[in-house]
Structure 1
Amino acid sequence: MPLDQISDEKEMSFLDHLEELRWHIIRSMIAIVTFAIVAFAAKSFIIDTVILGPSRVDFWSYQKLCELAEVLKTPAICVDDLPFKIQVRTVSGQFMTHIVVSFIAGLILGFPYLFWEIWRFIKPGLRPQERRASRGATFSVSVLFTLGILFGYFVISPISVRFFATYEISSMLQNEWDLSSYINTVTMVVLGCGLLFQLPVIVYFLTKAGIVSSSLMKAYRKHAIIVILILGAIITPPDPFSQILIAMPLMMLYQLGIVIAKRIEKREARQNKER
């Protein structure tokens, strides 16, 4: 019986909790492995279209940048050449890459279900008021994670690939990237953005726990903006458009966190007055 179907009056031992957690983990792994098998079978789409997409100039993001370059009369932002080659330098390189990429795809596709299983384990330990306040947590986390993945794949990833492809310390050197290095860069950027977009959810729970407040976030807003701009300058090419493109969503997420914290504080203040 799932933990969330057990009556609150029934106490579970520590070993019972471990057993219940084990089954949540097993079900999550089955879902991830299932998605990974599907991704493994769809090799052509996952590898050629998705993973290697940012390595080609006909990638959707590059085409839109070139269209925008025509409108803004700024040809510098148009990507018409990516001077690098991707090579495999080990005997089992392509096979192992196929397995790793399939598992990563399974993890991304199965993340909403993974969080749902974790939430099912945590939820029975919450008070009724906390359950009501956290209603829709799985949906919010899944939507933000998906938006982060899309932002990382269609914005950050191609910008990073372009930057490293065009950066040179000597004209005598050529970019011949190892396949595993390229995939690590793309997947880390994409997964990092997916987790970074969880900032509003993290702020929500930290505010509920009394660790973070809207006034604290407002006080450090200027510091956060500076950090975001520095981060944008590091991971993007040296042009203002790319830096703003990266910084704006991060600033919006931080501002959204302030709004969420303020709403929680008002709600709790109103509830305290009614008591």
Structure 2
Amino acid sequence: MMATENRQSFLEHLDVLRAAIVKIALVTIGFGMVAFFFKEQLFSVVLAPKSDGFITYRLFDRIAAWSGGLSEPFSVRLINTGLAQQFIIHMKTALCAGVLCASPYILYQLFRFVSPALYENERRYVTRMVGGGYVMFGLGVLISYFLIFPLTFRFLGTYQVSGEVDNLITLDSYISMLVMMCLAMGLVFEIPMLSWLFAKLGFLSADFMRRYRKHAIVIILVVTAIITPTSDIFTLSLVALPMWVLYEVSILIVKRTVTHK
């Protein structure tokens, strides 16, 4: 009798999970379809960093003019090499936009599914972890979109070994690099939240992080080399620097967490 009740309870949980997954899929597809039909608006955002009129470039141009320097205008034209490539990229980009727009609802459904199994204090920690992690991930994506990717693209897109060699950058290469760098930086910005969680669980201390700071820097460089889509020093430096800063910030967070534990 007990086994039957447990089995029924398990099946009921599966039904709840299935319903949550269906809702998540429908909302994600819905946002993706909206993004697909608003093609001009979608790609005006996606392709903005390739133009020298992008806000980041204009800001650096003003800084250069204020300091007495001159910045050269640049222009990079993207090409397409596959018959169906543009349509496929359009679909993939719209789906990514759908996932991004639906992400708050996805987190809500997942939390709603697991929350009945949590105690009140556990729900509080999970809420902080999920909310803080979401904010930090979004911050990482924004920093990548507005700072790291534009500077990387401008450097690599205009770099030439000779004036006789033109850069022909494919749309697929551009989109892939943009998505990978935004995703990588979003994950990198989870370092403080993970440090806070490990400190709460008693697995991490500020003294430990200070003691192994040199080792952490080596690990940061190795991870940066893995997650970045290119292997040039410029891009590696742009990604490694925020990771190191986040590590130092995490030391302060862990110290404060352990003190007020």
Considering the TM-score relative to the shorter chain, is it more than 0.5? yes
Matched-pair contact (CA < 8 Å) for 1:157–1:189 = yes
- Asked if 1:264 corresponds to 2:260, the answer is no
| Structure 2 gap segments, 5+ residues each | none
- Asked if 1:254 corresponds to 2:241, the answer is no
- Take 1:236 and 1:42, find their aligned partners in 2: how far apart are those partners? 37
Aligned residues: CA RMSD: 2.9
- Take 1:74 and 1:223, find their aligned partners in 2: how far apart are those partners? 39
Question: In the superposition, relative to structure 1, how do residues 258 and 117 fare at CA in structure 2: closer, same or farther (>3 Å)?
Answer: farther
Q: Which residue of 1 aligns with 2:66?
A: 71
Residue by residue, what CA displacement relative to the aligned partner does 1:69-123 show, whole Å, maximum 9, x if unpaired?
A: 1223344xx35114x4211112212211111110111112222222222222333
Letter in 2 for 1:264: T
- Asked if 1:37 corresponds to 2:49, the answer is no
Give the Å deviation of 1:213.
2.7
Question: In the superposition, relative to structure 1, how do residues 16 and 205 fare at CA in structure 2: closer, same or farther (>3 Å)?
Answer: farther
Question: In the superposition, relative to structure 1, how do residues 16 and 257 fare at CA in structure 2: closer, same or farther (>3 Å)?
Answer: farther
Question: In the superposition, relative to structure 1, how do residues 141 and 112 fare at CA in structure 2: closer, same or farther (>3 Å)?
Answer: farther
Q: How does 1:76-95 map to 2 (within 5 A)?
A: 78=71, 80-82=73-75, 84-95=76-87
Give the Å deviation of 1:55.
0.9
- Take 1:105 and 1:236, find their aligned partners in 2: how far apart are those partners? 30
Superposed structure 1 runs of 4+ greater than 6 Å apart = none
Q: Which residue of 1 aligns with 2:116?
A: 124
Q: Which residue of 2 aligns with 1:56?
A: 51
Q: Which residue of 2 aligns with 1:273?
A: none
Q: Which residue of 1 aligns with 2:12?
A: 16
Q: Which residue of 2 aligns with 1:207?
A: 199
- Take 1:133 and 1:237, find their aligned partners in 2: how far apart are those partners? 38
Give the Å deviation of 1:246.
5.3
| Structure 1 gap segments, 5+ residues each | 1-9, 269-275
- Percent sequence identity over aligned pairs: 31
| Secondary structure of 2:74 counterpart | coil
Letter in 1 for 2:31: F
Question: In the superposition, relative to structure 1, how do residues 221 and 71 fare at CA in structure 2: closer, same or farther (>3 Å)?
Answer: farther
Question: In the superposition, relative to structure 1, how do residues 161 and 114 fare at CA in structure 2: closer, same or farther (>3 Å)?
Answer: same
| Secondary structure of 1:175 counterpart | coil
**What is the total number of aligned residue pairs between the two structures?**
251
Give the Å deviation of 1:164.
1.5
Q: Which residue of 2 aligns with 1:157?
A: 149
Matched-pair contact (CA < 8 Å) for 1:163–1:236 = no
Residue by residue, what CA displacement relative to the aligned partner does 1:203-231 show, whole Å, maximum 9, x if unpaired?
A: 22233333333222222234434665785
Residue by residue, what CA displacement relative to the aligned partner does 1:130-173 show, whole Å, maximum 9, x if unpaired?
A: 22333434432332222112111001110121122123344432
Give the Å deviation of 1:124.
2.9
Question: In the superposition, relative to structure 1, how do residues 79 and 41 fare at CA in structure 2: closer, same or farther (>3 Å)?
Answer: farther
